[in-house]
Structure 1
């Protein structure tokens, strides 16, 4: 059994989830532009490093609260 965390979901095509499977973290990103991408991480630190690079502050100018909510959700995994 694994635990699933929803990081964000805007509709049925744009969402990001993280599944905790033992020591492995499986991140699934579904978008209407790129389809589904899956990433596996062996530690929370590795996943958070990926998240900081994927969700850059300069891409969220004027939407800082949205960025903060996404990063908080990653930290709760």
Structure 2
């Protein structure tokens, strides 16, 4: 059984989830613009490096506060 975490879910077409599959972290990004993208990481630092490059505060309607919340959620996984 895999552990699944919802990082954010705006609706059925805009969400980010992380599944912990043993040592592997599977990140699923679903957006109404790009469809579904799956990323696999072998460590949390690798996932956080990707997240730091992938997201910027202005990507989110809540700006810096929402960005910080999402990054904190990813760090806690």
TM-score computed with the length of structure 2 as normaliser: 0.92
Aligned partners of 1:58, 1:33: CA distance in 2, in Å? Answer: 17
**Residues 13-24 of structure 1 aligned to structure 2 (within 5 Å):** 13-24=13-24
Distance 1:29 1:76, change over 3 A: same
**Residues 1-77 of structure 1 aligned to structure 2 (within 5 Å):** 1-57=1-57, 59=59, 63-77=63-77
Aligned partners of 2:32, 2:57: CA distance in 1, in Å? Answer: 22
Q: What 5-or-longer segments of structure 2 have no aligned partner?
A: none
Q: What 5-or-longer segments of structure 1 have no aligned partner?
A: none
Moved more, 51-60 or 32-41: 51-60
CA positional deviation for 1:63:
1.1
TM-score computed with the length of structure 1 as normaliser: 0.92
RMSD of aligned Cα (Å): 1.7
